[in-house]
Amino acid sequence: MHFLAITLAPSYSLGEVGTLLVGTAALGTLLWGVSMAILRAWYTKGKSDLELTMNRAIQSHLLGSIAHLDPAKYYTLDVHFENGQTIIIPMVPFVELTISENLTICVLDQTAEETKLQMRTNNGPASLRRHRHELTCERILVERGTMTDMKTGTIYRKGDMWEIAAGQIHGAWFSDHFLATVLHKPALPTAAQRPVDLRHLEEAMSQ
């Protein structure tokens, strides 16, 4: 018994095959680019929404922490961001306040000359956008973990001191399990002297 195999194939020249492959590749590249653009837009929007939610939560947390406190019993710190926004945040003695995702600060002591704070990370690394303090110089002594200067890349480890002059722009990344003592000199004013102002926190933190 004989079998007859018949193969039907279109007849393309080498040039036509090349053109077809190039066209297919171009279409694939185009589709890939469109897909990536859609994913980037989705990711950016999602990230933006997440940051907005976090900033609102921080604002609510800070305001809630002072709701029933006498303004003469706690202090405030001015934070001037690079995007031109300024906020005045509360500094409450012995109360940990979240000032950025995973980053808290707490007043440990206040004298006529300086304010002593503790800063640490909770549940992961953190960052603090570049900003300045108008009237106080700042000294940060690392006690655990690492702190990295956003501008220079300098890494501060246990025992290192970062000295920041009044008015100097600075920002940092902090490792998980970071702990530091922070000194502001001269001492911070009370909220009665300089009231808390968080009206522009969302804009300030959305650079």
Tell me the residue type at 40: R
Residue 89 counted as domain residue: yes
Residue 44 counted as domain residue: no
- pLDDT by residue (tens digit) across 32-87? 555 555 545 544 444 456 676 788 899 999 999 999 999 999 999 999 999 899 99
What angle (nearest 5°) sits at the alpha carbon of residue 94, between those of residues 76 and 74? 30
Could you tell me the residue range of the domain that residue 103 belongs to?
59-204
Residue 154 counted as domain residue: yes
- pLDDT by residue (tens digit) across 136-168? 999 999 999 999 999 999 999 999 999 999 999
Distance CA 150, CA 134 (A): 19
Residue 5 counted as domain residue: no
CATH code of residue 192: 2.60.120.10
> Distance of alpha carbon 44 from its chain centroid, rounded?
15
Q: How many domains does the chain have?
A: 1
This prediction has a pTM of: 0.75
- pLDDT by residue (tens digit) across 104-137? 999 999 999 999 999 999 999 999 999 999 999 9
Residue 75 counted as domain residue: yes
